[in-house]
A = this chain, B = another copy of it.
Amino acid sequence: MAIPVLVVGCAGKMGREVIKAVHAAPDMYVIGAVDRSHLDADAGEVAGIGPIDVPITDNLEVSCAMVAQERSPGVMVDFTHPRGLYDRVRTAIAYGVRPVIGTTGIAPEQLADLAEFADKASTGCVVAPNFAIGMILLQQACLRAAEYFDHLEIIELHHDEKADAPSGTALATAQLIASTGKAFNPAKVEETELIAGARGGLVPGNIRIHSLRLPGLLAHQEVIFGGTGQSFSLRHDTTDRSAYMPGVLLAIRKVLGLKSLVYGLEKIL
Contacts and interface: CB of A to CB of B under 8 A. Distances in A.
A134 B225 contact: yes
B209 A216 contact: no
Nearest to A241: B229
Contacts of A62: none
Interface in A205-255: 208-218, 224-246
A2 B96 CA distance: 62
Interface of A is mostly: mixed
Determine how many copies of this chain the complex contains. 4
A201 B190 contact: no
A134 B231 CA distance: 7
Contact of A232 (B134, B199, B241, B245): B134
Given A141-B144, A197-B202, A199-B211, 19 more contacts: A134-B225, A134-B227, A137-B141, A141-B234, A160-B187, A164-B194, A165-B191, A165-B193, A197-B198, A200-B200, A214-B224, A215-B227, A227-B243, A228-B246, A229-B242, A229-B245, A230-B237, A232-B235, A232-B236
Interface of A: 132-135, 137-138, 140-141, 144-145, 148-149, 151-153, 155, 157, 160-166, 171, 187-203, 208-218, 224-246, 269
